[in-house]
Amino acid sequence: MKPSVNKILQKFSTQKVELARKPAIILKEAQKLDDQINKQKDKIDKVWSTYKRAWGEWQQFLDQTDKKATELRYNDLNQTMKQLEDLGVDSRQVPEMQKAADLLNRALNHIDGLKDLYGKPQ
C-alpha cells in the first residue's frame, strides 16, 4: 500500500466511527416489515379461499335454479297452458298462470344477469 493510504487507515483506526443506524435496529425493523407482510398475506389468502368456495357455491346455486326455473317455465307451465287450451280455457284468464309466467321469466332474466356479476377466481 501507498504510504498515504496507510497514514489514512492509521488515523481512522484510532477514531470512533459512528454508523448512521445500528445494524441490529435495521434488522429488527426489517423483521417487523416481513412479519407485517406475512400477516397481511395470510389474511388475504384466507379471504381469497373463502371467496373461491363461495363463488363455486354461488355458481352451483345459479345452475340449479336456472335448471328448475327453465323446467317450470318451459315444461310445466307450457304443458298446463296446453291442457287448459285443450279444455277450452284461455290460460291468460287464469291469474296464477300469468303471474307464474311473469315470475319465471323474471327469474330466468335475473339468473342470466347474475352469472357474470362476480368474477371467476383464477
pLDDT > 70: what percent of the chain?
86
Selected residue with higher pLDDT from 21 and 107: 107
Whose grid coordinates read 335448471? 67
Give the predicted TM-score (pTM) of the model: 0.66
Q: Is residue 4 part of a domain?
A: no
Q: Is residue 64 part of a domain?
A: yes
**Domain coverage including residue 108:** 54-117
Number of domains in the chain: 1
Cell of 101: 309466467
Query: CA-to-CA distance for 59 and 53, rounded, in angstroms?
Result: 10
Q: Is residue 10 part of a domain?
A: no
Give 81-92 pLDDT, tens digit per residue.
999 999 999 988
